[in-house]
């Protein structure tokens, strides 16, 4: 594609070159006719003579060599200090006796200009990936939430009133006679390519429950034209069970697990859990656990069909599946 200030498009360049080479026009006449300089007309005529019509395409203006570029050993020192020390350009420049602008240019070129690109625990650059097609990989996990007592929990009504609501609502007590509210386990499934999400709330995270969620999620995606091929999970007991392996084989899905103590590998669903918590679980005051659970389907529809997602070019995740889904018009 020609740049914004180009006098000639590739088609016009070809016309100019053919006037000179094929039709016998002088370079000056062609330059005057196409309103360009004599050297420009000469350049395209020469390229046409040497390369033919293919020579009319744009070429990169990048120089063949960079004699003033920062030497590779210095670049390695800058990257090392950025990753290991998490220093900024000014601190690194002071240590290596370099201009801060040079250090910043190196960090930009290495995609380390933002500390968010460097993992805090390991100090390694964050490696991002995305599968090319929907269904190529889905992520599964469980988000554990405390149940809300009738009248509201401590986040909404304070610890004192929340404790009283908990005591009235709870039907069980622990060994110290304190009221138990148990937990809600949100089983979540998210497609790696589109970020479309599916979720169910259950009272446990056993293998039989996780398998049921997977089966219904695969069917849900199939209704939307997506065939699931692989599933990525953490190393929870449900996902390490033989029943999980057997269920995946029956569905024609290849199961995969993350490396132990590396939740970053399943980072897409971990980030979705944060969005889930902010947008649904703790977004407003719920008078009871049943009220919060009843609000989940509506929030999931909003997330999939209406909420812009930065990973999908600020469009809703469902836009990456199909343009003809009936849900687009609801």
Nearest-10 Cα torsion for 9, 15, 20, 21: 110
Task: Please spell the DSSP secondary structure of 225-271, one letter per residue.
Answer: T----EEEE-S-HHHHSHHHHHHHHHHT-EEEEPPTT-GGGGHHHHH
In a domain, 298, yes or no: yes
Domain count, the chain: 3
Domain span at residue 90 reads 72-117
Please list, in sequence order, all residues whose beta carbon lies within 8 angstroms of the beta carbon of residue 227, skipping any fewer than 6 positions away.
135, 221
pTM of the complete model? 0.64
Rounded CA Rg of the chain: 30
Cα atoms in the Cβ-side hemisphere of radius 13 Å centred on 315: 11
Residue 196 lies in a domain: yes
Is residue 190 classed as helix, strand or coil in its secondary structure?
strand
Tell whether 15 is covered by a domain.
Answer: yes
The answer to whether residues 212 and 320 belong to one domain is yes
Q: Show pLDDT as tens, one digit a residue, over the chain (330 residues).
A: 555 556 788 889 999 999 999 999 999 999 999 999 999 999 999 999 999 999 888 888 788 888 888 999 999 999 989 888 888 999 999 999 999 999 999 999 988 888 766 666 555 666 667 788 999 999 999 999 989 898 888 888 888 888 888 888 887 887 777 777 889 999 999 999 999 999 999 999 999 999 999 999 999 999 999 999 999 999 999 999 999 999 999 999 999 998 887 777 788 999 999 999 999 999 889 999 999 999 999 999 999 999 998 888 889 999 988 644 544 444
Q: Is residue 45 part of a domain?
A: yes
Does 107 share its domain with 189? no
- Confirm whether 129 is domain-assigned: no
For residue 144, the cross-strand partners are 185
Per the DSSP assignment, residues forming a β-bridge with 118 are 125
Read off the CATH number of the domain in which 282 is found.
Answer: 3.30.420.10
Q: Are residues 52 and 76 in the same domain?
A: no
SS3 at position 91 = helix
């Amino acid at each position: 594609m020609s740049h914004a200030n180009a006098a000639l498009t590739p088609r016009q360049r070809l016309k100019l070159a053919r006037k000179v080479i094929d039709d016998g026009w002088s370079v000056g006449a062609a330059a005057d006719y196409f309103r360009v300089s004599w050297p420009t007309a000469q350049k395209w005529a020469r390229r046409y003579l040497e390369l033919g019509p293919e020579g009319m395409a744009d070429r990169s203006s990048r120089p063949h060599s960079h004699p003033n570029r920062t030497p590779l050993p210095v670049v390695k020192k800058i990257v090392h200090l950025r990753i290991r020390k998490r220093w900024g350009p000014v601190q690194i420049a002071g240590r290596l006796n370099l201009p801060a602008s040079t250090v910043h240019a190196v960090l930009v070129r290495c995609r380390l200009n933002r500390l968010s690109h460097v993992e805090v625990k390991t100090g390694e650059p964050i490696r991002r990936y995305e599968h090319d097609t929907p269904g190529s990989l889905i992520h599964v996990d469980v988000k554990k939430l405390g149940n809300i007592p009738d009248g509201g929990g401590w986040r909404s009504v304070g610890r004192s009133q929340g404790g009283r609501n908990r005591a009235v609502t709870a039907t069980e007590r622990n060994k110290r006679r304190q009221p138990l509210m148990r937990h809600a386990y949100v089983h979540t499934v998210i497609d790696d390519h589109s970020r479309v999400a599916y979720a169910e709330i259950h009272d446990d995270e056993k293998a039989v429950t996780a398998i049921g969620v997977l089966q219904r999620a695969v069917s849900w995606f199939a209704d939307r034209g997506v065939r699931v091929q692989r599933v990525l999970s953490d190393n929870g007991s449900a996902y390490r069970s033989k029943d999980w392996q057997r269920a995946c084989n029956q569905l024609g899905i290849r199961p995969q697990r993350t490396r132990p103590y590396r939740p970053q590998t399943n980072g897409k669903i971990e980030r979705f859990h944060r969005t889930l918590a902010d947008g649904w679980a703790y977004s407003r005051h719920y008078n009871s656990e049943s009220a919060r659970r009843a609000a989940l389907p509506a929030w999931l529809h909003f997330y999939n069909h209406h909420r812009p997602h930065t990973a999908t070019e600020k469009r809703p995740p469902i836009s990456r599946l199909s343009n003809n889904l009936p849900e687009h018009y609801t």
